[in-house]
Amino acid sequence: MGTIVDGQASPLALKSKKRKQAERKGISRANGIASCLFKYWRQRYSLFSRYDAGIKMDNEGWFSVTPEAIAASHAAHAASSSAAVVIDCFAGVGGNAIQFAARGFLVIAVEIDPRKVDYAVNNARVYGVKDRIEFVVGDFFSLAPFLKGDVVFLSPPWGGPSYSRIQTFTLDMLKPKDGYLIFQAAQKISPNIIMFLPRNVDLRQVEELSWLSSPPLALKIEENYMETSLKGITAYFGDIALVPSKSSLSKTDIS
C-alpha cells in the first residue's frame, strides 16, 4: 500500500495516476474515441469478437451495444422456440441483430439514426450475416403498425451511461418513450417480446408489463453477466418465456 500519506495521495501514487490518465488519453485519441468511452474500448473484443476485422462504432454505439456473448444468449433462447422472424426495434450498430441472424433468424433491424444503420450494415458484413438482415432506417413507433414478426426484441436507449448512478431505474426513464408505451407498441406485433434492461431496473414494474395482457403473459427474468460483472437484465415475455434457457451467462430469477 503506502499510497496515502496523512489522508492525501503520495507523490508516487499521483504520478502513476497521471501516467495512466495520459496513457488513456493517448489511446483514446489514437483510436478516434472520446476518453470517457475508454472503458468500453477496453472491452471491445467482448462487444465484438471480430472487432479487428473492421467493426464500426459511434459514441452511442460504444456504450449501448449488447456484449456479443449476451446477444448470442438472447438469440440462443429465441432459437429454442419455433420463431423464424425477429424484429430488432432499436438496432443500433447491430450487436443483437447480428447474433439473431447468425442463429438463422431473418431479422428486421429498425434504427432511427442512418449513420448507425450504415455501421450496422458494415458490421453484419464483417460477421457474414448481412443477407439475413433487412435494415430499415426509421422510427420504431411509426413503423410498428406495419411490422410483422414472431419475436420482438427491445433494447431501447437507457439515457446514457449515467443510468448506473440511479438507485432504481424506473421504466419511465427509458428513451425515447416510457417503457410501458414501448412495450405496448411491441405487443401489437407479437406477444413474444424480449427486453434488455438496466441491471438496476425496477423488477416490479417489469412484472407489471406482463399484466398488460389478459391473461397475463408468461415472464422469465434473467441476469446477464460477463465474467462476474452484471451487465443487464433480460425479460422474456409470452411463450418464449417458457422455453428452457441454456446459457451459462444467465441466471433466472423469476419464472
Question: What stretches of the chain show up as alpha helix (H) in DSSP?
Answer: 11-30, 38-42, 44-47, 59-64, 68-79, 95-102, 114-126, 140-143, 179-187, 203-210
- Cβ proximity to ligand SAH: between 57 and 240 the closer is 57
Size of the chain, expressed as the number of residues it contains: 255
Show the cell assigned to 101. Answer: 441472424
- Cβ proximity to ligand MGP: between 138 and 216 the closer is 138
61 binds ligand MGP (CB under 6 A): no
31 binds ligand MGP (CB under 6 A): no
Beta carbons within 10 angstroms of residue 103's beta carbon: 19
Selected range binding ligand MGP among 9-17, 122-130, 153-161, 165-173, rule: CB under 6 A: 153-161
Count of residues binding ligand MGP (CB under 6 A)? 16
38 binds ligand MGP (CB under 6 A): no
134 binds ligand SAH (CB under 6 A): no
65 binds ligand SAH (CB under 6 A): yes
Give the three-class secondary structure for 33: coil
Beta carbons within 10 angstroms of residue 89's beta carbon: 26
Q: How far is CA 76 from CA 31, 51, 179, 201, in A?
A: 33, 22, 25, 23
| Sign of the torsion formed by the C-alpha atoms of 214, 204, 144 and 123 | negative
Query: Residue from 61, 94, 232, 238 that binds ligand MGP (CB under 6 A)?
Result: 232
Instruction: State the nearest-atom distance from the C-beta of 96 to ligand SAH, in Å.
Output: 4
Beta carbons within 10 angstroms of residue 128's beta carbon: 12
Query: Residue from 153, 231, 234, 243 that binds ligand MGP (CB under 6 A)?
Result: 231
Selected range binding ligand MGP among 108-116, 145-153, 201-209, 228-236, rule: CB under 6 A: 228-236
224 binds ligand SAH (CB under 6 A): no
Query: Residue from 115, 157, 166, 177 that binds ligand MGP (CB under 6 A)?
Result: 157
Residues whose CB is less than 8 angstroms from the CB of residue 172 and which lie 6 or more positions away in sequence, other chains included: 178, 179, 180
Query: Residue from 35, 56, 81, 157 that binds ligand SAH (CB under 6 A)?
Result: 157
Give the three-class secondary structure for 203: helix
Count of residues binding ligand SAH (CB under 6 A)? 23
8-state DSSP, 220: E
- The distance of Cα 191 from the centroid of its chain, to the nearest Å, equals 20
161 binds ligand MGP (CB under 6 A): yes
Interface positions with ligand SAH (CB under 6 A) = 60, 64-66, 90-96, 110-113, 116, 139-141, 155-157, 176
Footprint of ligand MGP on this chain (CB under 6 A)? Answer: 63-67, 155, 157-158, 160-161, 163-164, 196, 229, 231-232
